[in-house]
Amino acid sequence: MLGKLRSFPDRVARITKSPPYSYISTLFTHSQSEEPYDPPFSVISKPAKPPKPKKKKQTKSQDKKTTTTIPAERPKLPVKSDLPFDFRYSYSEYNPAVEPIGYREKKRFSPFGPRRLDREWTGTAAPAESNVDDQERYLEERNRVLGDPLTAAELEELVERYRHSDCSRQINLGKGGVTHNMLDDIHNHWKRAEAVRIKCLGVPTLDMGNLCFHLEDKSGGKIIYRHINVLLLYRGRNYDHKSRPLVPLMLWKPYPPIYPRLVKNVADGLTFEQTKEMRNRGLNAHPLMKLTRNGVYANVADRVREAFATEDVVRLDCTHVGTSDCKRIGVKLRDLVPCVPILVKDEQIILWRGTIENEQRHDSPPVLAEPSDC
């Protein structure tokens, strides 16, 4: 009994020397089964990822062999187009009778890009080297594409389908008139539609007959409907988009050349004092019409021609139209009415009827080149 009591302090000393709670843990482990201890929420080691295969180093000769690909087919340069007319930025807003007196950039800067077209740029156009045979061949091909004329039922169906303002096949024609890149837009619309709706605004609407002529002549189509400033351009019965003529695009808008002044200091047939008096009379006169910006000017030439029957000077109020558009309007009216612009200032245009020679021409106004059914 005494031996057991003597050994008790040693046992207590061994327990106290051990870390806390170790005795309870030993009792807990002995009471459980002999399976390995796996407490809940224990961290499970992720499976090791397989090593990535190492890429073999290739020599320069092997790299060249593997990287060689078949090059994409590119159009042959320079591009050759068989269209028999000169390529210009605008066809309707150009008068071949008036030659420029200077250029704002050198002639070698072609808007088609360097060495991309087989035609030389002269500063205003890329002339075509075409013969009479080429023009006849172009007319024959155009007549073949147009085919037989439309019947009344077909014409009525096309007009009803494309004449409305919510038509998705529409091209807006602005102050640039019939531009070169517009021809490509027309052919892109003709790829999925038989006709395209063209809405004309601005200065070109002064001469709608000129617009109709150039649209038919340059695109090869036919105008089947015209209402004030809305046109419908028909592609033809035998049109094929894959065999359409090649229209090379202009990469940028070329700078317009320098032309002679529209308004002279002294009008032809008048002295300096008479010209000054005409200008003052025009500025103090009641305006014949008030033009808006990007408006429809289809009846302006007729109104001015009628006003010259009783008056010598006419004023047009072009507030908010812009100085450049005022000059374009003056040039158009000078050739259409005809008349003499004596002042373009503060967005006001003063027109003089002219001498007796101009008055004789008022009796027989110029016949505009209008296409058929236009």
Per-residue burial over 193-230, b if 16 or more Cβ lie within 10 Å, else e, is bbbbbbebbbbbbbbbebbbbbbbebbbbbbbbbeebb
In whole angstroms, give the CA distance from residue 42 to residue 177: 81
Tell me the pTM: 0.74
d(CA 110, CA 93): 19
pLDDT value, residue 14: 52
Residues 114 and 104: their CA atoms lie apart, in Å, by 18
pLDDT grade for 365, boundaries at 50, 70 and 90: very low
Share of the chain above pLDDT 70, in %: 76
Query: What mean pLDDT do residues 75-104 have?
Result: 88
Tokens of 120: 């030389």
Grade residue 135 by pLDDT with cuts at 50, 70 and 90.
Answer: confident
- Residue 368 has a pLDDT of 41
Burial of 188 (0-12, 13-18, 19+ CB in 10 A): middle
- CB contact at 8 A, 176 and 90: yes
The residue among 205, 206, 188, 207 whose CA lies nearest residue 196 is 188
Q: What is the pLDDT of residues 17-69, one digit of tens each?
A: 555 555 445 544 444 545 555 555 555 666 667 777 776 665 554 544 444 44
